[in-house]
Amino acid sequence: MTHADTPGVTAGAERPTDAPGRVPAARRRASGAVLAVLAGVAVVAGSLVVMGINGLVPVTSVAVGCAVAAALGWSTARAARAVRRLETGAMTGLPNRHVFERALDELLGRPDRAQGTVMSLLDLDDLKNVDRQLGRRATDTTVRACVRIWRDRLPAGASLYDLERGRFALLLPGAVSGDAVAVVDRLRSNLPYPGTVTAGIGRYCAGDTLALLTTRAGASLHRAKLAGKNCVDPDAWTQTLGLEIGRGLARGEFYLAYQPIVRLDTGEVVGCEALLRWAHPVRGPVPPGDFIPVAEATGTICDLDWFALTTAVQTLATTTEPPAGLLRLGVNVTGADLRRPGYADTVLALLETAGLAPERLVLEVTESILGDDQPVAVAALSRLREGGVRIAIDDFGTGYSSLGRIGSLPIDIIKIDRLFVATQESSRGALLAAVVALAQALGADVVAEGIETRDQAQLVLDTGCVVGQGYLLGRPGAFDDVLRLSSSAASHPGEGQAPAGAGTRRTGPGTTR
């Protein structure tokens, strides 16, 4: 097993070995340089002694002194170069393992400075295979090019070290450690290296020693390799992103995009759904499919949902344009929200304070929230519905609800999951029609999600569902875009089913959050 395959960074780097019993060449050169310096110092000292005894400076002593001074300068420079060679990676010029361990040990010796520090290990994957493809010399040139790019991408205060060929250590001080995964991802992206880069992350904990922190980072790197390489350790991603969510919320990095909900037969905009978005200052736009599960796992989902609800309610309540008075607003909530004591009354108080009629708010929940094991959540929904708020089941058809139980739940709207609309199965029309018939039998309104083509819109209409949502009908955007679309549809009723952007398909998987 090679060192690159094992967690931790305590093993020595691979270097050409010298003959048994001999001092390594680099150390011999350094020792020789130091001896030369000592010899020069001895000669100068001897000259000074002679001068002190005789009280005179003979010509020969002056000549010897000049020669010694020149030799001393040359020997000192040579010694400095030898020391630099001992403390830098031969291929990259970065500080090597010895400097890294010394710097980290000194840092850990001062807990006040070490607080918040993050250490990352980065591995150039499959370096031996790359060697075989390009040749050793070409690979070395490529790695040096990667290091030059990394130097330019490092944030202030960060330090990069060359531990061995193909493995690097990154130390991030507390000021930037919250962005650790983002920094590492930026180092990993768009490199000239033909292979992949895998990274692990270790966070400083009180009482950490050099061995403990490097072992933690090494274990993280090992998990990342087990996950398939070309990634950052998923556990580190979750922990770091969870911290970033809270900080991003405080810094105003989150915002809402509004997607219209449209009648397919007339083009009338009947409502919109508020979708949470994150503009990360380092990562750029973070997909909801990435941050929503992390928020749920780390407990920040309630803060995100409350931000979305209060922002959306204030936006709709303070908009005076005529179309806004006709729109219903959908906002996602989770079981964690509904289980909070007094949640229903808090929402109703928010609506009263904002001056927004409760029936204009639609709270969207998933099927899992309505299970037999969620009595508190169901009770909260019932209280909200009694107060006038409308309740929608989002992504219907993807959960495991009992059909016998659905009829007894506080439901006003069923939003059919996009899978029923997008499937290419020959039976998709029959399946969709069955779901629409079930919703109508329950007395619920029906909305088909994920409509992206005219063919899908026609299929939905043919099943008896007249309201839809999807990229064909309108992409998520500013609330003003929804108002403009609503005004346009109102002034030209019945003109087609697909506003601007018709026929444009979404690229990649989406989420309704």
| Active-site residue identified among 364, 367, 449, 452 | 449
Residue 275: band (very low, low, confident or very high) from pLDDT cuts 50, 70, 90 = very high
Q: Which residue has the higher pLDDT, 487 or 471?
A: 471
Quickly count: other Cβ atoms within 10 Å of residue 381's Cβ. 24
Q: Write down the pLDDT at residue 37.
A: 44
Judged on CB neighbours under 10 Å (0-12, 13-18, 19+), 197 is buried
Q: Region 73-81: what's the mean pLDDT? A: 60
Q: Comparing C-alpha atoms, which of 278, 296, 301 is closest to residue 288?
A: 278
* Highest-scoring range by mean pLDDT, 3-17, 52-66, 498-512: 52-66
Rounded Cα–Cα distance for residues 143 and 141 (Å): 6
DSSP H helical ranges for 88-135:
97-108, 111-114, 127-134
Domains 97-240 and 252-491 share a fold: no
Q: Region 104-126: what's the mean pLDDT? A: 90
Q: Comparing C-alpha atoms, which of 512, 501, 508, 513 is closest to residue 472?
A: 501
Q: Write down the pLDDT at residue 432.
A: 87
CB of 222 closer than 8 Å to CB of 200: yes
Class of domain 252-491 (CATH, top level): alpha beta
296 is catalytic: no
The amino acid at 125:
D
Tell me the domain boundaries of the chain.
Answer: 25-87, 97-240, 252-491
Angle at 45 between CA 44 and CA 49, to 5 degrees: 115
> What's the CATH number for 97-240?
3.30.70.270
